[in-house]
Amino acid sequence: MNRLKAALQYFQYYIKSNTKHAIHPPFAYTLLTEVILDRKFKQAYTLPEIIRKEMLKNKLSIEIEDLGAGSINNFKKNRNIKNIAKYSLKSPKYAQLIYRLAKHFQPNNIIEIGTSLGITSVYLAQAIPNGKVITIEGCRKTAAIAQQNFNNHHIANIEIANKNFDEALPLILNNLNKVEFVFFDGNHRKEPTLNYFNLCLQNASNDSVFVFDDIHWSEEMDEAWKCIQQNESVTLTLDLHFLGIVFFKKELSKQNFLIRF
Ligand SMILES: C[S@@+](CC[C@H](N)C(=O)[O-])C[C@H]1O[C@@H](n2cnc3c(N)ncnc32)[C@H](O)[C@@H]1O
C-alpha cells in the first residue's frame, strides 16, 4: 500500500473511529476505559524500554533470513540491529497496550508469532510473571540476539521457538491444551495470517484473546482482517487501526468497534 493511500486510510479511520462515549456494551466499555486508554506510567515499561535503547545503539550488522512480508524499510539481507530496532518493532505506545491487555486478562500462557529482538516478548513476560511466553522467530541471528537480551536481563519466563511459524505453531499448539492469548506479529500477508488464525482457533476457548498487528498494513491484511471479523466463532472485534483485538465470548453480540487510540 503506498504512503498516500495509507495516510488517507488512517484519516478515514480517525474520522469514523469512536471515543469512549460511543461505546456501550459493559465489557467493551470497561476494557476501553480501564485498559486500552490507560495512559498512566507502569514500572513494567522500564525494562523493555531499556532493552530497546540498547538495541537502538547497537551498530552490529546481522544476516537476516527473510521468512515473511518484510517491513517497508527492509530491502537488505544484512541489517544493523539499530535499524531493526528502529523500523521493525512495535512502538512503546502499542507495546505498552499489549502489555496492559495481557496484564488485564492474566493468561497462563501467551503465544507470540514474531519475536524479532524480543521487545514485545519482554513486555508480555512482565505482564504474566507466573506464566510463560512462547515466542516464535525464524531468523537464527535475530533469535540469538533476542535470547541474549532475555539472558542479560534475567528474564526466565520466555521460550523462543527458533523455527518457521508454519513448523513451530502446530508443535506449540499440540503441547498446550488451550490457547489463551496470542499476539500475531509477523508475516503480514493474507493467507499466512489466516492460516495462523485458523490453527490457533482450533485450541481457542470462550475467553481467548487474539491480538493482530498491522491489520491495515496492506490490502491483503485488510482482507485478512475482514475474514477474521466474519468468522463465526468471533464475536467482538476492536479495530485500533494499527492493531486489531479479537474476542470469542459467546455472551457478547457480534460487533466491531473502530476505536480512536
Ligand atoms: C515485526 S517483527 C516482530 C516484532 C516484535 N514483536 C516486537 O515488536 O518487538 C516480525 C518477526 O517475525 C519473523 N518472521 C516473519 N515471518 C516469519 C516466518 N514465516 N517464520 C518465522 N519467523 C518469521 C521476522 O524474522 C521478524 O523478526
Ligand 1 pocket member 142 (CB < 6 A): yes
* CATH number of the CATH domain containing 104: 3.40.50.150
pLDDT at 76 over 50: no
Residue at 82 is within a domain: no
Indicate the number of domains in the chain: 1
Between the CA of 177 and the centroid of ligand 1 the distance, in Å, is 25
Q: Pick from 185, 188, 213, 215 the residue to mutate for probing ligand 1's pocket: most ligand atoms within 8 Å of its CB.
A: 185
Residue 80 lies in a domain: no
Kind and range of the H or E element at 135? strand 132-136
Ligand 1 neighbour 113 (Cβ under 6 A): no
User: Residue 65 domain-assigned?
Assistant: no
Confidence of residue 123 (pLDDT cuts 50, 70, 90): very high
Query: Is residue 109, in this structure, part of any structural domain at all?
Result: yes
Q: Which of 71, 169, 187, 211 best tests ligand 1's pocket when mutated (most atoms within 8 Å of CB)?
A: 187
Q: Which cell numbers in the block locate residue 133?
A: 511466553
Give the pLDDT confidence score for residue 250 in this predicted structure: 93
**Residue pLDDT, tens place only, 188-238:** 999 999 999 999 999 999 999 999 999 999 999 999 999 999 999 999 999
pLDDT in tens, 21-62: 556 678 999 999 999 999 999 999 999 999 999 999 999 999
Complete edge-to-edge strand list for the sheet that includes strand 243-247: 158-161, 132-136, 109-113, 179-184, 204-213, 243-247, 236-239, 255-258
- The answer as to whether 56 is a domain residue is no
Q: Determine, yes or no, domain membership for 60.
A: no
The range of the structural domain enclosing residue 233 comes to: 3-45+91-258
Judge contact between 202 and 173, C-beta under 8 A: yes
141 within some domain: yes
- Summary mean pLDDT of the chain: 92
